[in-house]
Amino acid sequence: MQKENTLNQKQGHWILAKLGKRVLRPGGRELTEKLIEGMNITSEDNIVEFAPGLGFTGNIACSYHPKSYTGVDLNEEAAAIARKRIHYDKAKIIIANAAQSTLPDHYASKVYGEAMLTMQPLDQKKAIITEAFRILKSGGYYGIHELGIKPDNVSEEVKEDIFKELSATIRVHARPMTTAEWTELLEEQGFKVIKVAHNPMLLLERRRMIEDEGWLRTLLITFNLLRFPELRKRVKKMKACFRKHQESLDAVAIIAQKP
């Protein structure tokens, strides 16, 4: 019980991961695959992933056989998991802040990150995007897959309500943005947006769970929810929050290019 209570204090994505969920991105497997496909990864690319998490997307990216793959994660526990789960002989994980990756200038031709800018305050968002720009070669791509707010002209009142409830529910100071705001932020740091894709934010809905995880893993997650009532309460609150704001939330993937 003590272990369950300790876990219950963790951020929402770690709760879901401990319950067995592997796909933790707001637009699900489908939007992740669109993002990586749109990056046009080849055997000539040195690719970098900011905050690879459990290594799910890293394996998809590495299936394109890049010249190298580098994951940058500040969380040593997550990095250890990614090292075990990314099966590619040219992959490595380094411990560093995405805003200060320690990688050289013009190191990579493709950089991407998912569901991590959303959780940062504006200054840190800018710092991470600036770091992606620094380590990219001219002509390189930077891809993001983040939680979005719609429509672009949504009121500040609705935004603040979403910020407040997401922060209380998933225990992260989440700050999603509209597509126009994400685009402007990327362009302010020097990028040119070339591709945008959307998917509904249905992370905890049964249909998306089955699409993302498959029937067997969905059953495992359901079984674990039954085993851990405190964690089940957390997940129910998250699901209720997402449903309440379903008309205003979506998932957005953007690919931008460094001139």
The answer to whether 32 and 25 are in contact (CB under 8 A) is yes
Report d(CA 6, CA 26) in Å as an integer.
25
Is residue 53's pLDDT more than 70? yes
Say how far apart CA 187 and CA 125 lie, in whole Å. Answer: 13
Position 1 pLDDT exceeds 50:
no
The CA distance from 237 to 235, in Å, is 5
pLDDT for 10: 64
Q: What is the structure's pLDDT at 89? A: 96
**CA torsion through residues 131, 42, 79, 28, sign:** positive
Residue 18: name the closest of 5, 33, 28, 31 by CA: 5
pLDDT in tens, 192-233: 999 999 999 999 999 999 999 999 999 999 999 999 998 899
> If one looks up domain 2-257 in CATH, what number appears?
3.40.50.150
Residue 47 predicted with pLDDT over 60: yes
Share of the chain above pLDDT 70, in %: 96
Nearest-Å Rg of the Cα atoms of the chain is: 18
| Token representation of residue 43 | 């055997």
Bridge-based pairing of strands 136-149 and 249-257 is antiparallel
Neighbours of 20 (CB within 10 A): 16
106-165: pLDDT as tens digits: 999 999 999 999 999 999 999 999 999 999 999 999 999 999 999 999 999 999 999 988
Alpha carbons 23 and 26: distance in angstroms, whole number: 9
Euclidean distance between CA atoms 182 and 193, whole angstroms: 10
Cα–Cα distance list, 62 to 66, 71, 135, 151, 255 (Å): 6, 11, 19, 34, 18
What are 153-193's pLDDT values in tens digits? Answer: 999 999 999 998 888 887 777 899 999 999 999 999 999 99
